[in-house]
Amino acid sequence: MTVTRSVVLGCGSYLPARLVTNDDLTKIVETSDEWIVQRTGIRERHIAADGELTSDLGVAAARAALADAKVDGQSIDLIVLATSTPDNTFPASAVAVQAALGITRGAAFDLQAVCSGFVYGMATADGLLRAGVHQRALVIGAETFSRILDWTDRSTCVLFGDGAGAVVMEAQQQAGTREDRGLLTAHLRSDGRHKKKLYVDGGPSSTGTVGHLRMEGKEVFRFAVGAITDVIKDVFRDTGYTADDLDWFVPHQANKRIIDGSAHKLGIAPEKVVMTVDRHGNTSAASIPLALDVAVKDGRIKRGDLVLLEAMGGGFTWGAALVRW
Nearest to ligand ACO of 40, 85 (CB atom): 40
* Options 4, 75, 135, 155; binder of ligand ACO; rule CB under 6 A: 155
Rounded CA-CA distance 24/20 in Å is 6
255 lies in the binding site for ligand ACO (CB under 6 A): yes
Helices then strands (H, E): number in the chain? Answer: 10, 13
259 lies in the binding site for ligand ACO (CB under 6 A): no
Task: Determine whether 252 is an active site residue.
Answer: yes
* Options 12, 58, 281, 313; binder of ligand ACO; rule CB under 6 A: 313
Q: DSSP characters for 20-58?
A: EEHHHHTTTSS--HHHHHHHH---EEEEPPTT--HHHHH
User: Contact region for ligand ACO (CB under 6 A) — 104-112, 150-158, 271-279, 291-299?
Assistant: 150-158
Rounded CA-CA distance 167/208 in Å is 34
Nearest to 61 by CA among 37, 80, 74: 80
Nearest to ligand ACO of 7, 288 (CB atom): 288
Task: Determine whether 115 is an active site residue.
Answer: yes
Q: What is the DSSP letter of 102?
A: T
Residue 292 · residue 275 · CB < 8 Å: no
Nearest to 214 by CA among 197, 235, 227: 197
User: Contact region for ligand ACO (CB under 6 A) — 161-169, 199-207, 218-226, 233-241?
Assistant: 218-226
109 lies in the binding site for ligand ACO (CB under 6 A): no
Nearest to 5 by CA among 174, 134, 190, 240: 174
92 lies in the binding site for ligand ACO (CB under 6 A): no
Q: How far is CA 156 from the centre of its chain?
A: 19
Nearest distance, CB of residue 26 and ligand ACO, angstroms: 9
Choice among 11, 22, 46, 115 that is catalytic: 115
282 lies in the binding site for ligand ACO (CB under 6 A): yes
Binding mask 283-312 for ligand ACO (x = CB under 6 A): -x---------------------------x
Nearest to ligand ACO of 76, 188 (CB atom): 188
Nearest to 111 by CA among 135, 85, 73: 85
Nearest to 65 by CA among 105, 8, 122, 107: 8
Nearest to ligand ACO of 218, 303 (CB atom): 218
Task: Determine whether 46 is an active site residue.
Answer: no
314 lies in the binding site for ligand ACO (CB under 6 A): yes
Q: Which residues are catalytic?
A: 115, 252, 282
**Contacts with ligand ACO, residue ranges (CB under 6 A):** 31, 35-36, 39-40, 114-115, 154-155, 158, 198, 217-218, 220-221, 254-255, 258, 282, 284, 312-314
